[in-house]
């Protein structure tokens, strides 16, 4: 991955349900029409570590956890659409996999649309940046909605299966990854590199990974909701600042992604909710420019 590291990993881009919201909220100057935001997750099949996931998308537990006020506001703000075949456990079956086969789940952050299937993955190790969950677990439940966090989605044995990224041991990235200078080897073999993408949520982590065709993917989670935001350096509407942990850091991160995109046109940048990008990758075509 980094300077001569190679991976024979297969990468599949999938999604588990979607929500709807106005386009103009997601990108400054966008239209007022409602658009779909798929809840992307990625399946990695690593020659040593087996099957792994990046995030999990929605599950029916999202509806269970948002039945009552105040969490029901979450459901009203982002109406969710989910079918049986969308569930992670059912999509794994199409690859002849079961939840027990998933060795690791890399969590970009702890918003509900990224963690809703964690209870279904009872054998996995959870990998995330320490402050992504640390800030939330010590906050009072009354602040959960503010952080788009549904603590009922956290498995009861979460702590025993957690593997927090050791941020005291960063690795230096080659100049070709600039402006991202440091990262974290998530598996110890540098086949998957985590980088912090601050602003949207506490401790948000993006992941670089290369597939067995040599294509480099950059999973940027919610550092941008649409690929156009990265290409054009266009942030969301200012109203979205109310949802972000640090609006100033968000704009800086988006600027870094824009710079990276301009100098790395061959890297497949994957925002977690860009329907255009996700649909193109699900069908095996390169993402539209």
217-273: pLDDT as tens digits: 999 999 999 999 999 999 999 888 788 999 999 999 999 999 999 999 999 999 999
- Summary mean pLDDT of the chain: 93
pLDDT, residue 10, reads: 96
Mean pLDDT confidence for 13-31: 95
Of the pLDDT bands very low, low, confident and very high (cuts 50, 70, 90), residue 215 is very high
Tokens representing 114 are 């990224």
Q: Is the dihedral of CA 153, 114, 121, 72 positive or negative?
A: positive
pLDDT band for 276, please (50, 70, 90 cuts).
Answer: very high
- pLDDT over 90 (residue 275): yes
| Dihedral sign from CA coordinates of 254, 243, 80, 152 | positive
Backbone angles phi, psi at 228, to 5 degrees: -60, -30
Q: Read off the pTM.
A: 0.94
pLDDT at 2 over 60: no
pLDDT of residue 243: 84
Residues 169 and 246 sit within 8 Å (Cβ to Cβ): no
| Residue 99: predicted pLDDT | 97
pLDDT in tens, 186-213: 999 889 999 999 999 999 999 999 999 9
Least confident of 38-42, 78-82, 86-90, 284-288: 284-288
- The 3-state secondary structure of 37-95 reads EEEEEEEEEECCCEEEEECCCCCCHHHHHCCCCCCHHHHHHCCEECCHHHCHHHHHHCC
At residue 159 the predicted structure's pLDDT band, cuts being 50, 70 and 90, is very high
- Sheet of 80-81, strands arranged across: 80-81, 10-22, 34-46, 50-54, 102-106, 125-128, 162-164
Between the alpha carbon of residue 269 and those of residues 145, 225, 260, the distances in Å are 29, 12, 10
State which H helix or E strand residue 136 sits in: helix 130-137
* Domain 10-282: CATH superfamily, name plus number: Ribonuclease Z/Hydroxyacylglutathione hydrolase-like (3.60.15.10)
Of 2-6, 150-154, 238-242, 269-273, give the lowest mean pLDDT range: 2-6
pLDDT of residue 90: 97
Residue 3 has pLDDT above 80, yes or no: no
What's the pLDDT score for residue 285? 47
Q: What is the mean pLDDT of residues 66-73?
A: 92
What is the structure's pLDDT at 168? Answer: 96
Q: Which residue did the predictor score with more confidence, 177 or 282? A: 177
> How high is the pLDDT of residue 287?
46
**Lowest-confidence range among 15-24, 119-128, 137-146, 223-232?**
137-146
């Amino acid at each position: 991955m980094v300077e001569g590291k190679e991976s024979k990993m297969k990468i599949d881009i999938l999604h588990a349900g979607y929500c709807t919201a106005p386009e103009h909220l997601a990108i400054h100057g966008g239209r007022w029409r409602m658009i779909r935001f798929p809840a992307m997750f990625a399946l990695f099949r690593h020659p040593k570590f087996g099957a792994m996931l990046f995030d999990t998308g929605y599950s029916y537990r999202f509806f269970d956890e948002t039945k009552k006020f105040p969490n029901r506001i979450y459901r009203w703000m982002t109406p969710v659409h989910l079918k049986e075949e969308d569930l992670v456990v059912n999509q794994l079956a199409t690859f002849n996999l079961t939840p027990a086969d998933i060795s690791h789940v890399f969590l970009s952050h702890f918003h509900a649309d990224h963690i809703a299937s964690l209870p279904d993955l009872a054998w996995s190790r959870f990998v995330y940046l320490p402050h992504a969950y640390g800030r939330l677990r010590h906050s009072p439940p009354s602040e959960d909605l503010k952080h788009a966090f549904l603590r009922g989605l956290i498995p009861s044995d979460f702590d025993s299966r957690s593997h927090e990224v050791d941020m005291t041991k960063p690795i230096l990235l080659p100049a070709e990854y600039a402006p991202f200078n440091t990262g974290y080897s998530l598996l110890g073999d540098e086949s998957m590199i985590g980088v912090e993408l601050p602003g949207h949520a506490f401790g948000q982590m993006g992941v670089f990974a290369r597939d067995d065709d040599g294509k480099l993917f950059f999973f940027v989670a919610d550092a941008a909701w649409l690929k156009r935001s990265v290409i054009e350096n266009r942030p969301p509407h200012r109203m979205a600042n109310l949802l972000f942990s640090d609006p100033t850091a968000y704009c800086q991160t988006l600027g870094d992604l824009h710079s990276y995109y301009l100098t790395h046109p061959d890297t497949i940048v994957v925002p977690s909710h860009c329907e255009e990008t996700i649909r193109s990758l699900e069908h095996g075509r390169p993402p539209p420019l």
